[in-house]
Amino acid sequence: MTTTTTETTPVGGPTGPVLSATGVTMRFGGLTAVRSVDLEVHPGEIVGLIGPNGAGKTTFFNCLTGLYVPTEGTVAYQGTVLPPKPHLVTQAGIARTFQNIRLFANMTVLENVLVGRHTRTKEGLWSALLRGPGFKKAERASEERAMELLEFTGLAAKRDHLARNLPYGEQRKLEIARALASDPGLLLLDEPTAGMNPQETRATEELVFAIRDQGTAVLVIEHDMRFIFNLCDRVAVLVQGEKLVEGSSEVVQGDERVVAAYLGTPFEGAPGAEEVAEVEAAEAHAGAAAGAAAAAGAEAPSTTARTEDDQ
Ligand SMILES: Nc1ncnc2c1ncn2[C@@H]1O[C@H](COP(=O)(O)OP(=O)(O)OP(=O)(O)O)[C@@H](O)[C@H]1O
């Protein structure tokens, strides 16, 4: 089934997944960039999409957001199949950022967020031209919401700066603020930490958690595996346009096919490494304490005994 129709078709209830992509295929001439990919994102989830360069990740995002009309397959938001038109997809509740920053460089930070707000304002052309009371009220409400988002992303102090004068990390944050201005139920992030230093990456991680906590589900493409495995409830791996594996960070990291096709040897600082080191240190400490207690002819403390039983 193709998504060339402009009708919206209910296929589920509001309690189901936020996003359901079903059998999404995208061909460019003889090249199949995305092949029959199914993916769901549920409310409250952060889902990662990873894979080697050219695997089809961005093409898949473009199919989800109506930039491309998939050759086959459907994309549904909250149970309603979406027409492949970017403005209708945004209006439905899916917002995105791009791999290459796309801000209005000569507009202020606040103005950039206000642009992202336009899908949620109802005032028409005449109202805007005449600047009637309805328009002024809507304008004030939009500005209030935009300022909330600038506070949320830590950019409020820069509201009047030109976007082009922001440091790189803040430009990426502004892109996120602008995407959030459409009050999405699902946010798609395409390589949000590309070019960031470790501090900026850590701040982005916190921001994504905060976005999820505020009720927006997130689907994120990223090559930084530490970021992905720390952040995501679920990770899907695309290889040569096909979904190879999908599961928790642990499942994906442990899958031999993913390691062979993409991850290679385990990356340094894998999540859990710190915890493993802490447990080992605690066990060594407990073992030493038990040894000392035995040497002194006393019973080992109960916590030590439990630790040993658990091994
Ligand atoms: N508009 C297009 N026309 C023709 N081929 C395209 C087009 N867009 C993408 N492709 C091809 O589709 C394949 C998938 O590209 P895509 O950019 O989706 O991969 P990706 O996984 O996002 O890669 P990266 O991690 O490098 O961003 C590539 O072979 C690419 O050359």
Question: What ipTM was predicted for this assembly?
Answer: 0.97
CA of 54 to the centre of ligand 1 (A): 5
> Do the domain assignments include residue 262?
yes
Residues whose CB falls within 8 Å of the CB of residue 271, separated by 6 or more in sequence, listed in order: 226, 229, 230, 249
- CA count, 13 A, side-chain hemisphere, 193: 22
The answer on 234 and 86 residing in a single domain is: yes
C-beta separation of 246 from 82 below 8 A:
no
CA of 241 to the centre of ligand 1 (A): 9
Of all protein residues, whose CA lies closest to atom 24 belonging to ligand 1? Answer: 53
The answer on 88 and 197 residing in a single domain is: yes
C-beta separation of 4 from 20 below 8 A:
no
> Do the domain assignments include residue 99?
no
CA of 56 to the centre of ligand 1 (A): 5
> Do the domain assignments include residue 98?
no
The answer on 174 and 202 residing in a single domain is: no
Mean pLDDT over residues 119-137, rounded? 63
- More confidently predicted of 95 and 278: 95
Tell me which residue range forms the domain holding 133.
Answer: 104-181
The answer on 221 and 89 residing in a single domain is: yes
> Do the domain assignments include residue 222?
yes
CA of 139 to the centre of ligand 1 (A): 39
CA of 197 to the centre of ligand 1 (A): 26
- More confidently predicted of 230 and 258: 230
Q: Which residues sit with their C-beta closer than 6 Å to ligand 1?
A: 28, 31, 33, 51, 53-59
The answer on 305 and 159 residing in a single domain is: no
Q: What is the pLDDT at residue 74? A: 96
> Is the pLDDT score of 23 beyond 50?
yes
Of all protein residues, whose CA lies closest to atom 1 belonging to ligand 1? Answer: 28
> Is the pLDDT score of 185 beyond 60?
yes
Rounded Cα distance, 22 and 115, in Å = 31
Four-residue CA torsion sign, 189, 195, 198, 203: negative
CA of 292 to the centre of ligand 1 (A): 62
The answer on 266 and 222 residing in a single domain is: yes
- More confidently predicted of 4 and 111: 111
Of all protein residues, whose CA lies closest to atom 11 belonging to ligand 1? Answer: 33
Average pLDDT, the chain: 83
Of all protein residues, whose CA lies closest to atom 3 belonging to ligand 1? Answer: 28
The answer on 225 and 82 residing in a single domain is: yes
Band (126; pLDDT cuts 50, 70, 90): low
Mean pLDDT over residues 225-245, rounded? 95
- CA 62 to ligand 1: nearest atom: 18
* Total number of domains in the chain: 3
- CA 59 to ligand 1: nearest atom: 18
Mean pLDDT over residues 13-26, rounded? 87
Of all protein residues, whose CA lies closest to atom 18 belonging to ligand 1? Answer: 56
Nearest to 215 by CA among 172, 271, 152: 152
> Is the pLDDT score of 85 beyond 50?
yes
The H-assigned helical ranges of the chain are 57-64, 86-92, 109-116, 125-130, 133-152, 168-180, 198-213, 225-231, 249-254, 256-258, 273-295, 302-310
150-159: long-range pairs with CB below 8 Å, 24+: 150/109, 150/110, 150/113, 150/177, 152/177, 152/180, 152/210, 152/214, 153/177, 153/180, 153/207, 154/203, 155/109, 158/109, 159/108, 159/109, 159/110
Q: Which of 59, 188, 262 to mutate to test the pocket of ligand 1 (most atoms within 8 A of CB)?
A: 59
> Do the domain assignments include residue 253?
yes
If phi over 0 gives left and psi between -120 and 50 gives alpha, with beta otherwise, what is residue 102? beta
CA of 116 to the centre of ligand 1 (A): 26
> Is the pLDDT score of 94 beyond 90?
yes
The answer on 84 and 189 residing in a single domain is: yes
CA of 83 to the centre of ligand 1 (A): 22
The answer on 212 and 63 residing in a single domain is: yes
The rounded percent of the chain whose pLDDT value lies above 70 is 76
Of all protein residues, whose CA lies closest to atom 30 belonging to ligand 1? Answer: 54
- CA 26 to ligand 1: nearest atom: 12
> Is the pLDDT score of 195 beyond 90?
no
- CA 29 to ligand 1: nearest atom: 4
